[in-house]
Amino acid sequence: MSISITEKVVHTDAFEVNLYKDGIFWRGYEQSAYAIHQIRPAYQPKKEKIKKVGREVVSIGFPDGVLKDILLVFELVKREEKKICLKTREPIDLEAFEEWKEALSTYTPTCENCKKLLTEILNEQSRTAAPQVPTEPTGAMVIYNKVLHFDLSNSTPMECMAFVSELKKDLILE
């Protein structure tokens, strides 16, 4: 059973830390991300606008291999295959969490840069090429459409890597 992002960002009290399995990583959202960042400042938080939630959400991830170190710091409440519920010894300072979250810069997906670059390439091709109306989509148009329709906000890092690999193969075949 998949856990929706709207469920992942909800916390019932200031002692709660929830971690969710995401491929080979564990992720904490909102106050859980803050709690993890307090004990492991080297882990980089990511703040991004999530359409399904209707606001910016902060997450922090770490590999499965360091989970045991994280579990030493918190009290284990419940462990499931894709979710771990933990409890802090002291309540999370929700005001400090909001200040921390506000200070983070919002993540901008690099695919926005890809779209911009592909638009420039297509514009350049249309200026230099003899005016022709293609009967089939060109390779650049196919790649542009793939990038345009790729759902980055709901994709895992592994899915993004596979997508980039697919684009590279398409470019080589051209």
Q: What is the pLDDT of residues 32-51, one digit of tens each?
A: 999 999 999 999 999 988 88
In the chain, where are the structural domains located? 5-103, 111-173
Count of alpha carbons within 13 Å of 50, Cβ hemisphere only? 18
Which of 72-86, 115-129, 135-149 shows the lowest per-residue confidence on average (mean pLDDT)? 115-129
Q: What's the whole-model pTM score?
A: 0.62
Q: What is the pLDDT of residues 110-141, one digit of tens each?
A: 666 666 666 776 676 666 655 555 555 566 77
Query: Would you tell me the crossing angle of helices 139-149 and 157-173 to the nearest 10 degrees?
Result: 170
